């Protein structure tokens, strides 16, 4: 991939922050070191936190928007920033991804600049030798590929896989498709947009040589909560769910088991059954008992719920699976 083709491309990075004092300065430095692109702006949105993130940002003279906990929404916060972005390409990132390569952004956005696709997402690796190692391998393989509407029959739900933990979108396309339609989506806002893009004739490219490290360790209760929300999302969006929740989940479960057996990873094999059970029970609970409809709400969140929504400790969003 030729990085030079992206050298004049203007990029806006959108990154929500919450209790990010341990990583925000390193994260920002990794962005400022990027080569081969024109980083027009980094739009940080800091949800009211209980640590010193705000003090660090102020001391470093890093610009950001500060919002109360009641205003946080994974979809609406990203949507508002994206609609106001000045860059030709919008790159969505989460605060806990680690970028090591200085040409990461150039590689990620190259297919958008060339017109090959309207959205891209990066390869995610983990530093841990746990089940996440295998979910990452399943969802983020070593070889790049592109999907379109023509792939729905073969790939089913996986056609709409997209991650805004480290993904990019053509800004004009995002706006034309009206982003997330003003909905307060507590999870899977990236899949929601991907579905719209694909069904409107767009293409998404997985860029295997654009790599970030995204590493977590999760408790069973955290997995259950995350999958319960996913089940509720599918209940609220049956047009997406009809493409095969069970087959997609079953495919990943088989892939994890096969690779763990091959590696003789006894730690993962020991955790496999309860881990998969937590995912299955959470998904089933969300589909059966989750709320119907998918409208904007104005719920005021407690600090714990914000942490759950932010996905820093409780994995509601950007943890493990995506």
Q: What is the mean pLDDT of each run of 10 residues along the chain (322 residues)?
A: 71 98 97 96 97 98 97 97 98 96 98 98 92 91 97 95 97 98 95 98 98 89 92 94 78 91 93 93 90 51 44 36 38
Alpha carbon separation from 77 to 14, 44, 53, 240, 255 (Å, rounded): 9, 10, 18, 23, 34
CA angle 197, 201, 203 (to 5 degrees): 65
Report the alpha-carbon distance of residue 15 to residue 258 in Å, rounded.
35
Residue 257 included in any domain: yes
Would you state the structure tokens that stand for residue 199, as one six-digit string?
Answer: 């069904």
* Whole-number pLDDT of residue 319: 36
In a domain, 231, yes or no: yes
User: 275-288 in b/e burial notation, b at 16+ Cβ within 10 A?
Assistant: bbebbbbbbebbbe
Structure tokens given for 313: 């400790």
What does the DSSP 8-state code read for residue 10? E
* pLDDT at site 247: 67
Q: Is residue 145 part of a domain?
A: yes
Q: Is residue 59 part of a domain?
A: yes
Residue 67 lies in domain: 8-310
Note the pTM of the prediction, 2 decimals: 0.87
Question: Does residue 1 lie in a domain region?
Answer: no
CATH of the domain at 268: 3.90.550.10
| pLDDT value, residue 5 | 79
User: How many domains, the chain?
Assistant: 1
Residue 100 has a pLDDT of 95
Going by their DSSP bridges, the two strands 145-147 and 89-93 should be labelled as: unpaired
Write down the pLDDT at residue 217: 80
Any domain includes 175: yes
Is 223 part of a structural domain of the chain?
yes
């Amino acid at each position: 991939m030729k990085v030079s083709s992206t050298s004049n491309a203007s990029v806006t990075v959108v990154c929500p922050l919450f209790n990010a004092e341990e990583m925000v300065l390193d994260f920002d430095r990794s962005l400022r070191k990027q080569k081969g692109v024109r980083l027009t702006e980094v739009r940080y949105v800091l949800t009211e936190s209980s640590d010193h993130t705000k003090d660090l940002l102020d001391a470093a003279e890093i610009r950001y928007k500060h919002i109360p906990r009641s205003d946080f929404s994974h979809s609406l916060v990203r949507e508002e920033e994206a609609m106001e972005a000045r860059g030709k390409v919008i790159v969505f990132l989460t605060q806990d991804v680690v970028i090591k390569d200085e040409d990461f952004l150039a590689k990620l956005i190259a297919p958008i600049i060339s017109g090959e696709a309207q959205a891209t997402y990066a390869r995610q690796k983990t530093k841990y030798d746990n089940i996440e190692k295998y979910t990452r391998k399943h969802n983020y393989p070593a070889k790049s590929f592109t999907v379109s509407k023509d792939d729905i029959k073969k790939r089913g739900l996986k056609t709409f896989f997209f991650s805004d933990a480290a993904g990019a979108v053509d800004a004009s396309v995002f706006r034309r498709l009206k982003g997330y339609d003003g909905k307060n989506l507590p999870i899977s806002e990236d899949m929601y947009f991907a579905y719209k893009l694909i069904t409107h004739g767009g293409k998404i490219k997985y860029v295997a040589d654009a790599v970030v490290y995204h590493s977590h360790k999760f408790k069973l209760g955290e997995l259950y909560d995350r999958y319960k929300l996913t089940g509720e999302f599918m209940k609220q969006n049956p047009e997406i769910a009809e493409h095969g929740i069970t087959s997609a989940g079953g495919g990943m479960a088989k892939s994890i088991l096969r690779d763990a057996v091959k590696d003789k990873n006894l730690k993962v094999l020991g955790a496999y059954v309860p881990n998969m059970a937590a995912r299955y029970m959470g998904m089933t609970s969300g589909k059966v008992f989750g709320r119907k409809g998918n409208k904007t709400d104005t719920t005021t969140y407690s600090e714990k719920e914000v942490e759950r929504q932010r996905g820093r400790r409780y994995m509601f969003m950007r943890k493990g699976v995506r």
